[in-house]
Amino acid sequence: MVLVALALQHSRSDGVAAPNPVPTFTLGVTTPTPTPTWEAPSPEPQASRADERFLTTGSAVWWRGVAGECGVTEPVIERSDDGGATWTDVTPRYLGIGEVMAMNAFSAADAEMVAAMGPTCEVQALRTYTGGEFWEPYPEVLAASRYLDSADPSLVILLGEPVPAPCPAPTGLRTSGDTAALICDGVAWTRTGANWTPLTPTGVAALTLVGPDIVLAHADASCDGTAVSRVAENDLAGPQPVGCAAGTDPASPTAVTIRDGDLLVWSRDALAVLEGVA
């Protein structure tokens, strides 16, 4: 496997250097389930909801963001036209965006997100067909979205239905088909059907899904950086090591995504590429 580290440069359309941010949607489950019993594990590194990162790629444009916290910390949304070498700030501040809860590239150059908007932090699904210059609300997209509730952090919204998370304040929700996965205090949990199941290893910084399989970016003593493991759908207790993203930091806010079979790991100001993960 080959690991390539790409230094990221931030730029804005007005020519002013953008600050480095410190820090993706549909599941057909409508039956309410009891709130799971939660016993907190030993403390593990985990980003706060405000610092949570998102990374998603179309064939022509890549997108990334930092969640922010509505009314407290401004979110940041950026796009790249050159495979992550440089980034341009396209945060729709003119709309009063307050927080990002989900982000997805749904075509070669277009993206959508679920965000809290305006002084009341109204949840909307927004799409851009102009490279991020303009964003418009799409209620039908919101109805089909999956995201963590900004008003009540203990709830996951799946197709408009609130579902109790397996902990009070999860992060990192990602979904694919009938599978959802998120992170609670460094532990990844997966849900297919009505129940949440915890996974190993611990120290998880970020995750993504490849169909029903879950790819975890996590801390490991054998990796001088971020270790990567894959949990197959029918082998939840047996994660398989995939590789090590050297030069990254699993204790800092992290986002991962799969592109053309490779794993992109966004950590601090670097983008690492771990080849042949999927």
* DSSP state string for 14-74: TSPPPPPP---------S--PPPP----S------TTT-EEEEE-SS-EEEEE--BTTTB-
- In tens, the pLDDT along 215-261 reads 999 999 999 999 999 998 777 667 899 999 999 999 999 999 999 99
Asked if pLDDT for residue 52 goes beyond 50, the answer is: yes
pLDDT band at 20 (very low <50, low <70, confident <90, very high): very low
Using the structure block, give the residue that is written with the tokens 């998880």: 204
User: What does pTM read for this prediction?
Assistant: 0.82
The CA radius of gyration of the chain, in Å to the nearest whole number, is 17
Q: Give me the pLDDT at residue 233, please.
A: 79
Asked if pLDDT for residue 190 goes beyond 60, the answer is: yes
Tell me what the mean pLDDT of segment 66-87 comes to: 97
Residues near 163 by beta carbon (within 8 Å), at least 6 away in sequence: 29, 32, 33, 155, 156, 157, 191
Query: Which pair of structure tokens corresponds to residue 224?
Result: 């001088």
- Strand 97-105 vs strand 111-117: parallel, antiparallel, or unpaired? antiparallel
Query: Which pair of structure tokens corresponds to residue 15?
Result: 């020519």
Using the structure block, give the residue that is written with the tokens 């796009």: 79
Asked if pLDDT for residue 277 goes beyond 70, the answer is: yes
Instruction: Name the residue with higher pLDDT: 265 or 41.
Output: 265
- Rounded-to-integer distance, Cα 25 and Cα 105, Å: 11
- Rounded-to-integer distance, Cα 198 and Cα 194, Å: 14
- Residue-by-residue DSSP string for 75-143: -EEEEESSTTSEEEE---GGGTEEEEEEEEE-SSS-EEEEEEETTTTEEEEEEESSTTS--EE-HHHHH
- Rounded-to-integer distance, Cα 270 and Cα 84, Å: 9
Which contacts qualify for 169-172: CB closer than 8 Å, 24 or more apart? Answer: 169/49, 171/46, 171/47, 171/48, 171/49, 171/52, 172/52, 172/204, 172/206, 172/207
* 185: DSSP letter: T
Cis peptide before 201 (omega within 30 of 0): yes
- Strand 53-57 vs strand 62-66: parallel, antiparallel, or unpaired? antiparallel
